[in-house]
Structure formats: C-alpha cells, structure tokens
Amino acid sequence: MLCNICKQKRATLHFTKIVGEKVHKIDLCEDCAKKQGLADGSIDVTDFLLGLDVSQPSDEPEVEELKCPVCGYTLSHLKKSGRLGCPECYNTFADMLEGILKSMHKGVRHVGKIPNAQHSGKTVAEKIRKLQEELEHAVAIEDFERAAVLRDEIKRIRVKLNESEDKKL
Amino acid sequence: MNLLDFLTPSPEIAKREGPDDTIVISSRVRLARNLKNISFPGWATKQDRIRAMDLMRPAVENLPQMKDGFSTIMDELSPLDKQLLIERHLISREHAVKSAGSAVVMSKGEIFSIMINEEDHLRMQALLPGFQLESAFNKIDEVDTLLEKQLDYAFSSKLGYLTACPTNVGTGIRVSAMLHLPGIVLAEQINQIIQAVNKLGLAVRGLYGEGTDALGNFFQVSNQQTLGEEELQILERLQKVVAQIVEHESNARTLLLEKQKTAVLNHIGRAYGILANAYSMSSKEAMNLLSLFRLGIDYGFFPNTIRALSDELFLICQPAHLQKLYPNTNEPEERDIVRADIIRERLKDIKGPITK
C-alpha cells in the first residue's frame, strides 16, 4: 500500500481517525510521517489525528502478511506455534488474539495484580501519556468505542489541567 | 557446588509435613513474567536471551529468599542433574532441554525455584508440602513484588502480564496441587472426577505435568484460565475444588474399607508382597505399588510404619535419584535390580498388612 501523501513510497505507518462514527485510515511512508512530525513522537498523535484531513475511507485489502514491527514475528508463526514473539506482538496480532483469548479465558480484560511502577507516582502528564498509549493501541486493534472514550478522557483531563493552572495564576 | 550436596536429602524431604498431606502431597503456585522490549525466549536470538538472562539473574540471585541458594546456567548441568531437578519438581521438562541463555535459581530447602528463559523470561514458583496453596501464593507474590522493583516487566493495562503463550496472559498464574488419589482410582470414580474438574475450567495432569501419565495415582490439579479473573479468585476456586476432591478421596477410602475390605486388603497385600520380594522392578511398577503401600500405611495396616518411608522410596526410586545414589547404574536394567534391592531391604522388617 502506498503513502497517502506522496503516493510514491510504501506506507509503513498506519493511523486511524475517528470522526463521530466514521472511521478513516491514513497510511504514511516514513519520510512523510517525519515531515508531519509523527515518526519521532514530537507531535501529539491525537492532535494530529483530530486535525489532519488527508485520509480516505479504508477498504483496502491486506496484501502483505501481518508481521510484528518490533520482532519480525509473523502471523504464520503464530498460527503454527500458538505462541507470540515479543510483548509487542499482542498489539500486532490483537485482532486475531481477541477471539482466541475470549475462548480461552474468563474475560478479555486483566483484573488482578498491577506492577507497582505502573500505578505509583502518577503525575497528570504521565497519566495523559499513558492514556495516549492506550488510545493508540485501541485504534490499532480497531476498538473504536474504547478509542473514543479514551479520546474524551484525555480532553477532559487537559481541560481540567488548564483550569487548575488558571486558578494558580 | 555439587547439586546433590545442595538439595535437601531425600529422607528429610519425605518427612516434611503439611495440612492434609495424606492426600495433598504438595501445593505450588507459579507466576510467568517477561521483560519489556525483549523477545520471548522461544523467538529471541541467543544474544538476546543471554542479555535478558544477565539482566534477570543478578536480581533473582540477590533476593533475600535466595540466600544460600543455588544458581546455575543450564549449559553447566549434566543431563542427570537436569533429570534430578525434574523429579524434584524444581524445573520443567521443557526447561531441561534448554541450553545457552537459560538458568535456574533455587532456594535452600527448595521452596523457591525460578527458571530464567523457559517459555517466558521468568517462571517463578513456590512449592510447599501439603495443602497450603494460599501460603505458596503469598510467598511467590512477595518474590514477584521484589523483582518488579528491579526489572521492567512487560505489562499492558488491558491484558495484564504479557506472556509467550496466550494461555498464560493476564495474571500469569498457575495454582496447582499434587494429589494422591488411590481411593478414588480403586473405586473407579477417577474419570468422573476428572470430567467434573475439567468442566470447572481446571486441568488434571500427571506426576510431571503436562502430557505425563498419572503414575502412582498422583494427579495434579491446576487452573487453566489466567485472564479476566483476579489471582485470589483463581486461588479460592482451586482451594474449593481441591478441598472437595480431598473429601471425595477420604469418603472413597472409608467406603472401600466398609464395603470391599477384602478387595482392598488384597490389592495392598499383593503390592506389599511384590515390593518386599521382587529382584527387579521398573520405576513405573515401583510407583504404582508404592502408591498402594502408602494407602495401606494411611489405613493403619502396617503398624509402626510411617508414611515417610513410602514417600522416601517414591523419591529415591525415580531414575535420576537412583542413579545419583548408585552411580554405577547407567542402564535401566541395572537400576531395576538396585531399585528392587533397596525396596526389599527397607521393607524387610515390615510384616504384611493386618487389620484388627
């Protein structure tokens, strides 16, 4: 699949935008993503998605085999062994895993122990960063309902943060 | 240090006691954990596995629980030592075939064992005698909490602890109890029990875990689901089910004695007869006969004989234990003869089963 902006290079970065109930996908090559300030994380991805409008409705079929961008594990590896290559594979193969996990376990959401580092000393900034990570993940697995909730939650926290800073002044 | 010098001697292991230990041999809780940003051991390159091991091993070795413990990379263990650790339930069969980049760290007294780069980066277990699942859980949970301060775990707020196999994702916990169920087997109720337990989403396995036979009427019951349920709920469910199986087993034993006393005495008497008189015995046969001997001791058919005797024989009759004690027994046939000799010798002052 080609980059939506330059329409020349192969798109390696994929973003999804939700407007109301409509879903738009945008696929960028690394260079164009960099030009948009997306590849190095200097821009808030959420803001980018909320503002940019070069996307097109997505109905392109997947041609290439799904492959984990971090470790290179492929869908056929997963199908063959039933195991994953690295922690990131849970995001990469989220669609496929959803059904497997549902049939295997009591639920599809973790309840139980959380490592201390994950919930202690949470500043507002960290919380927003964490929510953004979750948002990206939700978008990646096309859980748009949750993505919308997270998007609103981030907005709400931002508004609150601004309010409290206004009060200080 | 020699592995055998480190391990608790078999007679001492056999003497360990715990709640309901006539039926519940041991309680175990294991947790699966992985490091962020490093591939799971089965997919990682050798360098990555070694890098991960070098990160984890010092943290594990420095745990207060591992004081005076034993730490070794798997390459340095002989096949015999690996088999010995399997028989002690300190490593898995899967871990025994691992080489470069894998390690195991065990605590003195063998309560804790932590496998590094098994299927997951970390597989940590607490193993206690008798029925004390909760205590085993608390112990390993403490270890995990200490380790997470030093190691950056792969964790997702949605899916919990991320593991190589989706069957372990979430809590990464496996709670299991090793049960001795000769009464239920003799009463021919074992298949019903296994089916009922399976229906509750729990697994029943043999003596050495996944895919092994139920030698010597030993069965391991454990949870299979790890996601969508809290650790304590999983633990409680296991405790309830194990308590029910314990009750079934005691009822079966009582009923057998009431209704089929002759048949029970016949089974136990014949087992005793072979154990006390044979000149060659495979480990499988020994397990199955010792199981009946143990039942006879529990029934009080062998006055002045304590269960530690049968339990010690169980341990030392396993191939690697035997070969460690008697180094000149490399061939199974040689071990069968030595095994029979040991059992005959230990049973020579014990008379056949009697009832009042």
Domains, chain B, in order of start with CATH, read 3-252 (3.30.590.10), 260-347 (no CATH)
User: What is the C-alpha to C-alpha distance for residues B192 and A122, in angstroms, rounded to an integer?
Assistant: 51
Q: Which residues of B touch A90 (CB under 8 A)?
A: 156, 159, 162, 169
The pLDDT tens digits for B252-263 are 999 999 999 999
> In degrees rounded to 5, what are phi and psi of residue B160?
75, -145
- Considering CB atoms only, which of B39, B224, B227 is closest to A86? B39
Q: Between chains, do A106 and B225 touch, taking CB under 8 Å as contact?
A: yes
* Model pLDDT, residue A6: 78
pTM (predicted TM-score): 0.77
| Alpha helical stretches, state H, A22-143 | 30-35, 45-51, 75-81, 89-92, 94-104, 116-119, 124-140
Summary mean pLDDT of chain B: 94
Higher-pLDDT residue of A14, B275 = B275
Q: Which of A110, A131, A134, A139 best probes binding to B when mutated, by most B CB atoms within 10 angstroms?
A: A110
ipTM rounded to 2 decimals = 0.88
Q: Which of A75, A86, A146 best probes binding to B when mutated, by most B CB atoms within 10 angstroms?
A: A86
Q: Please, how many CA atoms are within 13 Å of residue A136, restricted to the half-sphere of its CB?
A: 19
Tokens representing B133 are: 């699942």
Q: Please give the average per-residue pLDDT across B324-342, as a whole number.
A: 92
Tokens representing A76 are: 């056929």
Distances (CA, A) of A78 to A72, B45, B125: 11, 17, 27
> In degrees rounded to 5, what are phi and psi of residue A163?
-60, -50
Secondary structure (3-state) at A74: strand
* Model pLDDT, residue B192: 93
Nearest to A78 by CA among A96, A98, A91, A63: A96
* Model pLDDT, residue A38: 63
* Model pLDDT, residue A43: 45
Q: Is the pLDDT of residue B247 over 90?
A: yes
- Residue B241 makes CB contacts below 8 A (sequence gap 6+) with B197, B200, B202, B221
Higher-pLDDT residue of A146, B18 = B18
Residues of A with CB under 8 A from a CB of B: 70-71, 73, 77, 81-87, 90, 97, 100-101, 104-118, 130, 134, 137
H or E stretch including A13? Answer: strand A13-19
Which residues on adjacent β-strands are paired with residue B240?
none
Tokens representing A18 are: 């939700």
Buried/exposed B206-219: b ≥16 CB within 10 Å, e otherwise:
ebbbeeeebbbbbb
User: What is the C-alpha to C-alpha distance for residues B245 and B184, in angstroms, rounded to an integer?
Assistant: 9
- Considering CB atoms only, which of A71, A105, A116 is closest to B148? A116
Tokens representing A50 are: 């909320």
Higher-pLDDT residue of A146, B234 = B234
Number of residues assigned to chain A: 169
* Model pLDDT, residue A141: 86
* Contacts of range B197-203, beta carbons closer than 8 Å, 24 or more positions apart: B197/B221, B197/B241, B197/B245, B200/B237, B200/B241, B201/A106, B201/B225, B202/B237, B202/B238, B202/B241
Q: Which residues of A touch B155 (CB under 8 A)?
A: 114-115, 118
Distances (CA, A) of B141 to B41, B53, B125, B169, B229: 23, 21, 9, 16, 16
* Model pLDDT, residue A27: 78
| Number of other CB atoms surrounding residue A52 within 10 Å | 15
Distances (CA, A) of B41 to A82, B45, B52, B92, B317: 14, 8, 9, 15, 34
Tell me the pLDDT of chain A (169 aa) as tens digits.
777 777 788 777 776 655 555 666 677 777 777 666 665 544 444 445 444 444 444 454 555 789 999 999 999 999 999 999 999 999 999 999 999 999 999 999 999 999 986 554 445 666 777 888 888 888 888 888 888 888 888 887 777 666 655 554 4
Q: Which residue has tokens 């707020």?
A: B157
User: What is the C-alpha to C-alpha distance for residues B91 and B84, in angstroms, rounded to an integer?
Assistant: 9
* Model pLDDT, residue B336: 95
User: What is the C-alpha to C-alpha distance for residues A92 and A72, in angstroms, rounded to an integer?
Assistant: 10
